[in-house]
Each structure stands twice: as structure tokens, then as C-alpha cells.
A and B are shown apart, each in its own frame.
Chain A
């Protein structure tokens, strides 16, 4: 069913109520509309271990959380991410940044996530849900061949056990 405005956030009324006051001014822009729809869809059908929503009144600035998948060095950690939508979203990819420090070869020291779909492989048919799922998937399976931190990638391919130990340690230190 259609949920108009911000009334659809079950339990997350803290931000959904704030967005509802923001809706009328943005409803004209296509990107705002699309982001709003994504928000509704995310609330109706949230991906496993992920959540996301606007940080404050700004619909183009979201905050997301990913819970570290079990059986990975990140298990038990709660990772916060900042998502910034460009004004011509969905034709340009959103910017996804880890706010929680993470030991990962595809996440640079500033937390910027390096993924194909957030760069050249972006497609306007992708949604934030898919992006979050992709982030979750590279947390499980890092991609050392397109790494931004060569040291971690090297360790990951050379000494997986040591890499996992460090990553688990970082998770305990920063993500709990």
C-alpha cells in the first residue's frame, strides 16, 4: 500500500516524523521523491542486519547501521555509515562512508567505501538497500584485487588468520 509522507516508519518515528514536515518542500524534485520512496520501501522490507534512514531533517543525508555478520571477524560489531545522496541521485551514486573504524582492505582510513557499484558501475536502478547488502557482502568477502589499503589486502591474501585477528580486534575496540 502507498504510504504518503513520513507516517510509515514503524518504531522509527523519531526521524520519520521529522521528515514528514520536510516533505512538501522536496516533493517537487525527482531525487527527493525517489529517496523518500526508498525510505518507505526500506521500512517495509528492511534488509537483514541493516537499517538506514535520514539523519535529521535533510533527506539527502542518511545514517545507516550494519551489524557484523556472524562467522566473520566483524561479528558482534555495529558499524555506522554515513550516506550522502547527490542532488541528481539516482543518476549519480551515493557516497557511503564508514563512521565506525573498520579494518578492511576496501575501506580507506577515512572510512570511504571503495566499491565498483559506488563508482563506475553505478546504475540508477540500484537502491540504498542493494548498496547496503553489497557493503555487507564485501565485509564477508573482501576484494583484495581492488583494495584501497594495499597493506590489508596483502595481509588478507598472505596471512588470512592474522588479518582476521586484527579485524576482530578492531571490531572489539571500535564497533562495540
Chain B
């Protein structure tokens, strides 16, 4: 058994080395075909080296190309050495990114030998830590992506199919608002409430646990119980989503009741929709291959348009303000309620103003970081966030 393993390991070590030498140039080609130079430079700015990019892209997007590679890797691990014809085929295949094979091999070996898993993992962290860690992150990102993809449709059925879901709902409800805990915070005595509820309870009813009246020492700096919060998000995605929307709506309405200006800013703060639209628009225009000059002309026309709209918005705000000063507050509220159209057009104007601001910002930075801004779309931003989270988790584990 031990001997066989040794042999297998040696073969593994030898076989990639054999492949590595003739395939370095084809590797370079692969990079060229898979990633545009723009993307590479953007990635470089984001701190990704090319290998990491390849790895991440392969792991994140679980493409059908990956499956044959899996098989190939299994072939490599099998006790019989891969014959030369297979090797040649592997070399000829245009999309065989060899570094991936190498790195995944290093990762896969512990899977063969579960006993040595920990040791090897440590070794990989210490020695070629960078590669392995990047890959770990990548796989985590991949897992996270898959989870989030599968979560929503899966949970819609699971929340209704779980037999104890009503009991769970009771258990995970906040005793203060009687709804599913939103960002639950746990007291030192072990009772959990929505963070907001607990905070207002501490403010208004004294720093006692609402359930058992024990003292809460740090009632002001309540932290979210992440495990509980994640569990709640997994079990009751609809409720959580509804609550999020409700709170956003609520704050927006509150802002609307205060004054038109603050409503405008609250809208900017709360609603990321126009921001996303604007970013995707601008990236689309750049991705379609238009030169910088054409984009600037289009944006300048847009800017004129937006400036006009912003002026209109300003006028409207002024109008509303004068309304407010002449009439009573009640009348103003009634008028606004009657004319919902006014407020929605205000929102649209706010969105346009935001877009204008964004595009101005982008224009100033376009010269230096055109690629970066074009590629750092919401998805890559999200990916980067996940990356950061994963690395943080890695650091904590170490």
C-alpha cells in the first residue's frame, strides 16, 4: 500500500514535469485567447496575477470544459502512468491550461491520502502558499457563487417542506417586533433580538434583557450574531428580503416626510438601482469597442441632457420649498400625497443627476484607468469582495 502510494506520487511528480516543459509556450497562447490584454491589465491593477486569474475563472465559472479536465486529472492520479498518446493529445488540446492542472494536483493529493491531508495542507500554505491560497479562495468563491445561485429556488421549497418550520419561526422570532429576527444580536444572558429592537429597548426601557431582565452591559454596541443571522437568512430568505425592502422603503418615506432635499439625498443613498444602471450602461458602451473620443462625445451630450434635468430638479425643489413656507406642513403633505407623480419624477431626476456625477467622475479618471473602470463592474466587484472575505477567513484560521 505504502509503496504503491509512493510510486503514484512519484509518477505524479514526474508526469507534470514532463508536460510542463513542452507546454510553456502553448500556455502563453492560452492566456492570450482566454483573456484580453485589457482585462489582464485591469486584473493586474486589482492585484491578480495571471495564474490566479486563470484559476479563479476556471473555478468560478463552472464551465463544461472543466469536466474533461477533471477526468484527465483522475487519469494522472491512476496508478498506471498516462501513455504517450494521451499525453500528446493533452498537449495538442488548445484549452489545456497547464498551471491549473499542476496546482489542482497539489490540491488533489491530500484527497487521495486523507491521513496526510493536514500535513500537506500546512505545507502548501507555507511553501507555495500564495498559489494554494489563491486557489482556495477561488474555490470558496466558486462555492459561494453556487450556494447563492441555488439558495433562492431551493429555499422557496424547503421553507415550506421543512416540518418544523413553524417552530423554527417561533424560535427565531424577535420577542420585541414578533417577526423573524433581522440582524439578530444576542445578549450576554443568551437571548436574541433584532439588533435595532434590542438597541431601542436598551434606550427606552433601560439596559435590561427584555426576556429575563438581566443587565446588558454593552447595550449600545450590540453586535450581530453572525451564525444565527446566516441561519435565518438561509431558512427565511423571503422574510428577510421583505424586511430589507420594507426598511429601505420606510427610511425613504421618512426622508420624504422631512423635506424634498433630504429625500433627494436619501434616495441617492438608499437606492443603488440608478447607480447600477449607469455603471452597466457605461461599461457596455466601452465594451462594444468604441474609442475614447466617441464615448466622450456621447457622454457630453448626455451631460447636457442631465444638466438640463438637474436644473429642472433644482427648480422643482425650490417650488416645493416655497410651497412649504407658504402653506402649512399638513397641506404640503397632502399635496405631495395627491401628486405622487411629482415625487417619482423627482426620483428620476435624482437618478439622472447621479449618473451625470458618475460620468463626470469617470471622465476624470478615464485617462489613467480606463480598463479598470470598464471592467470593475458589479460582478467583479462582488468577486473581489468575496475574495477579500475569503482571505480574511484564511487569515483568521491561520
Contacts and interface: CB of A to CB of B under 8 A. Distances in A.
B83 to A, nearest CB: 63
18 contacts: A28-B250, A30-B177, A34-B176, A34-B177, A41-B178, A88-B204, A90-B176, A91-B201, A91-B204, A92-B204, A121-B213, A123-B210, A123-B213, A124-B176, A124-B197, A124-B210, A125-B175, A125-B211
A37 B173 CA distance: 12
B205 A91 contact: yes
B201 A124 contact: yes
Nearest to B238: A2
B111 to A, nearest CB: 45
A33 B205 contact: no
Size bracket of the B interface: 10 to 19
Contacts, number: 41
Interface string B167-206: 0000000011111000000000000000001001100110
Contacts of A127: 178
Interface residues of A, number: 18
A156 interface: no
A164 interface: no
A41 B175 CA distance: 13
Nearest to A122: B205
A42 to B, nearest CB: 11
Contacts of B213: 121, 123
A28 B247 CA distance: 9
B179 A37 contact: yes
A20 B178 CA distance: 19
A169 interface: no
A38 interface: yes
B178 A38 contact: yes
B205 A28 contact: no
A123 B208 contact: yes
A-side interface mostly? loop
Interface string A73-101: 00000000000000010111000000000
Contacts of A124: 175-176, 197, 201, 204-205, 210
Given A37-B177, A88-B204, A127-B178, 7 more contacts: A28-B253, A30-B177, A90-B176, A91-B200, A123-B205, A124-B205, A124-B210
B196 to A, nearest CB: 9
A1 to B, nearest CB: 8
A78 to B, nearest CB: 28
Interface in A23-41: 28, 30, 33-34, 37-38, 41
Contacts of A37: 177-179
A41 B213 CA distance: 24
Contacts of B250: 28
Of all A-B residue pairs in the complex, the 5 with the closest CB atoms, nearest first, are A125-B175, A125-B210, A91-B204, A37-B178, A124-B176
B192 to A, nearest CB: 11
A90 B176 CA distance: 7
Contacts of B176: 34, 90, 124-125
Contacts of B200: 91
Contacts of A123: 205, 208, 210-211, 213
